[in-house]
């Protein structure tokens, strides 16, 4: 059995959002996303939905409209 943890080897990047694939199978992909205060994630661009499991901190959802100036 291969055991993985989202809490192993946590290293933040001061400049950009840091991502790391933890587990990838034929039906799922588990990605660790590390963000510092004030960092913003790019728009989610995939045909599949995303599920967020927040382990620590808090998150603010903000979505710009395409017609917004």
Q: Output the CA torsion sign for 46, 47, 48, 51.
A: positive
Q: What is the pLDDT of residue 63?
A: 63
Q: What is the pLDDT of residue 66?
A: 57
pLDDT per 10-residue tile (average), the chain, 69 residues: 78 87 87 86 78 80 57
Q: What is the pLDDT of residue 69?
A: 47
* Buried b or exposed e, range 20-56, using 16+ CB within 10 angstroms: eeeeeeeeeeeebeebeeeeeeeeeeeeeeeeeeeee
């Amino acid at each position: 059995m291969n055991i993985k943890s989202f809490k192993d080897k946590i290293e933040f990047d001061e400049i950009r959002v840091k991502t790391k694939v933890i587990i990838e199978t034929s039906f799922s992909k588990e990605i660790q996303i590390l963000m510092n205060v004030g960092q913003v994630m790019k728009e989610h661009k995939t045909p599949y939905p995303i599920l967020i499991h927040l382990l620590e901190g808090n998150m603010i959802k903000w979505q710009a409209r395409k017609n917004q100036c």
